[in-house]
Structure 1
Amino acid sequence: MSNDRLLQVLLAPIVSEKSTFIADKNQQVAFRVLQDATKPEIKAAVELLFKVQVESVQVLNTKGKVKRFGRFIGRRRNERKAYVSLKPGQEIDFAQEVK
């Protein structure tokens, strides 16, 4: 796995009420990832970017809903989410500045 690929695997952290509850309860962090990202790639990317130790990775694929936008029928995009479990004592702080 090249560093260029690992830097592109994680798209964005998911910051919602559910993800903060999971972070507090299970020491997990949720990320939106590329559609073709694998569990070992996600683990390596999180360890590279945030300098933490990852225990496990769970991946979830969600299909985009068909929705109406005015008189047009559209479709939301498909998403792939990764729930990353951190080893005890590890923590990711999104508020800190990345150098």
Structure 2
Amino acid sequence: MKSVLIRPLITEKMTKISEKHPNKLGFMVAVEANKIEIAKAIKEKFSVDVVAVNTVRHPGKSRTQFTKKGRFAGRTSKYKKAVVTLKEGQTIDIFGQA
């Protein structure tokens, strides 16, 4: 299996959650990854203790584009998000600030 963690989630909603709960962080993860694999990958990469992992799967959607040459049908990619709760007092510096 390829890498479990794809990238950190930096959205308006995730920023609000992180401000309210500094020990919660969001990540885009591989669709086939489970909660145990996600927790293990976070622990190995950032050397922190994971208390909980909440995941959300988003299915791909059908999209149609109408152009002068006709109609083109396609799909958006499916993806999975994970909100990771760290042990109290632990944080991860996603932005790399000193």
TM-score range, shorter chain: 0.7 to 0.9
- TM-score w.r.t. the length of structure 2 is 0.82
Q: 1:14 aligns with which of 9, 24, 31?
A: 9
Q: Which runs of 5+ in 2 are unaligned?
A: none
Q: In 2, Cα distance between the equivalents of 1:65 and 1:81?
A: 16
Q: In 2, Cα distance between the equivalents of 1:81 and 1:61?
A: 6
Larger helix share, 1 or 2: 1
Q: In 1, Cα distance between the equivalents of 2:53 and 2:41?
A: 12
Larger strand share, 1 or 2: 2
Which of 1 and 2 has greater Rg? Answer: 2
Letter of the 2:8 counterpart: P
Which shifted more, 28-37 or 88-97?
A: 88-97
Does residue 25 of the first structure (1) align with residue 23 of the second (2)? Answer: no
Identical counterparts, % of pairs = 37
Partner of 1:91: 91
Q: Counterpart of 2:25 in 1: which secondary structure?
A: strand
- Superposition misfits of 4+ residues, deviation over 6 angstroms: none
Q: Which runs of 5+ in 1 are unaligned?
A: none
- TM-score w.r.t. the length of structure 1 is 0.82
Deviations 1:4-47 (A, max 9, x none): x6x71101111111111111223311111111111111001001
Aligned residues: 92
Letter of the 1:66 counterpart: S
CA displacement at 1:66 relative to structure 2? 2.0
Deviations 1:24-81 (A, max 9, x none): 2233111111111111110010011111111100111111222233442221111111
